[in-house]
Amino acid sequence: MAAIRLLDRPLASYYLVLGATLLLTMLGLVMVLSASSIRALREYEDTFYFLDKQALWVAIGLPLLWIASRLPVSFYRALAYPLLLGTIVLLVLVLVPGIGHEVNRNRNWLIITDSIRIQPAEFAKLAIVIWGADLVARKHRLKLLTQWRHLFVPLVPVVALILALVLLGNDLGTAVILVSVLLALLWFAGTPIRFFALLVTGTAVAVTYFISIDQERTSRLTGFRDPFADVLDTGYQAGQGLYALASGGLFGVGLGASRQKWGALPEAHTDFIFAILGEELGLVGTLVVLVLLAALAYGGLRIALRTSDTFIRLAAAGVTSWLMVQAVINIGAVLGLLPIAGLPLPLVSYGGSALLPSLFGIGMLLAFARAEPGARAALAARGPGRLRRLAARLSPTRLSPTRPGR
């Protein structure tokens, strides 16, 4: 009953999303240090190499989240087209020889400096959420969504263009997330079931085709059900991940005591960080992560369902779907329930290109939570924030003495 009363408070959505985000981000820093320390020492002679870079991204991302949470809804709608066009330009540049960079057979990186690389496909997720929500909201206001062509055009063709650019870089995992964002936008826009089912069927056929034309993807799809059938080849990473989880037990082997991170488990600090977390913190640690992700999902959907603004509903649903589908695919791959897609665990895995758009998207969720009628009234009742009150006390007009005769 106490929990229900807490959820009835005006700012419950805000604090639910913010608390889950901060806890996952801080846990991510701890696990990045633990999972990457051996590789960092071996390759860079610095145990804290990956932690230092991740801490820098967090130091940039958290202020970005705070700024995003204070921006008005009109700003996000104005950002829609510049963000979309900028993302498409970056995705094209990735495919240009000498500019784009390939990692693990995926050509999806741009090198800014020797130590800074960005992955434009990660920003495409945010771009589709904001632009798609703005587009559908405009058509809803004009009462055009009753016609199926206005529901799908130009939303589906533009997303198809972005998907084509991403797939040319061989990044099927990110393409699946982009499709999930599109489906979330269409679902919350009220797409009729027959059209939605047709789009889902077409997506499934397309994914099956792209898997079938690549031998490595095919082996992942057929091998994830029993990685130990070929544990030295196609099932190696999945098998090592399961070894890590199995050795963790209920409470884990202890923070920093993982054995799989010594080189047995590939991508231990990125795609398979959940396996290291399970090994070191056990079942209890993995359940904590799942509870925090569930809290973030509940908060995001609560924001989407409590608003009467079409743009807010669609954008909140899009961000929440993007993060949760990606988390499910990542964790499902580690548990052996889904094929390995090469996707990071949101807010926890190493990588600034994934972290910054995620934190900005969550900051947008927080801005929407602050815009709820009850939340707006609660914030107004509080008066100016602490920083504003402090600035008012220290302002020159308050500090300077009043002159006689004035």
Query: Could you list the pLDDT tens digit for every one of the 406 residues in the chain?
Result: 566 667 778 788 999 999 999 999 999 999 999 999 999 999 999 999 999 999 999 999 999 999 999 999 999 999 999 999 999 999 999 999 888 888 777 788 888 776 678 899 999 999 999 999 999 999 999 998 888 788 888 999 999 999 999 999 888 899 999 999 999 999 999 888 888 888 888 888 887 887 777 777 777 666 677 787 778 777 889 999 999 999 999 999 999 999 999 988 999 999 999 999 999 999 999 999 999 999 999 999 999 999 999 999 999 999 999 999 999 999 999 999 998 888 999 999 999 999 999 999 999 999 999 988 777 777 777 766 554 565 556 554 444 444 444 3
Residue 114 in any domain: the answer is: yes
Determine the length of the chain.
406
Sequence-distant (6+) residues with CB within 8 A of 300 are 17, 316, 317, 319, 320, 323, 324, 365
The CA distance from 176 to 340, in Å, is: 12
pLDDT at 393: 62
Output DSSP code: residue 229. G
Q: Could you tell me the pTM of the whole model?
A: 0.91
Q: Name the nearest CA neighbour of 138 among 161, 155, 162.
A: 155
Predicted pLDDT of residue 389:
60
Between the alpha carbon of residue 68 and those of residues 77, 169, 367, the distances in Å are 13, 30, 7
Residue type at 82 in one-letter notation: P
CA–CA dist 185, 172 (Å, integer) = 20
203 class by beta-carbon count within 10 Å (0-12 exposed, 13-18 middle, 19+ buried): middle
Residue 129 maps to a domain: yes
Total domains, the chain? 1
Cross-strand bridge partners of residue 110: 100, 118
Residue 98's region, left for phi above 0, alpha for psi from -120 to 50, else beta, is left
Peptide bond into 154 cis (omega under 30): yes
In the sheet that 117-118 helps form, which strands lie side by side, from edge to edge?
100-103, 106-111, 117-118
118 class by beta-carbon count within 10 Å (0-12 exposed, 13-18 middle, 19+ buried): middle
C-alpha–C-alpha distance, residues 201 and 257, integer Å = 45
Range of the structural domain that residue 36 is part of: 17-370
- Structural domain contains residue 235: yes
Of 289, 147, 252, 167, the closest CA to residue 217 belongs to: 167
In a domain, residue 3? The reply is no
192 inside domain: yes
Residue 140 has a pLDDT of 93
**DSSP 3-state of 205:** helix
Residue owning tokens 């900051």: 363
CA 171 to chain centre: 16
Residue 82, in any domain of the structure: yes
Residue 387 lies in a domain: no
In a domain, 380, yes or no: no
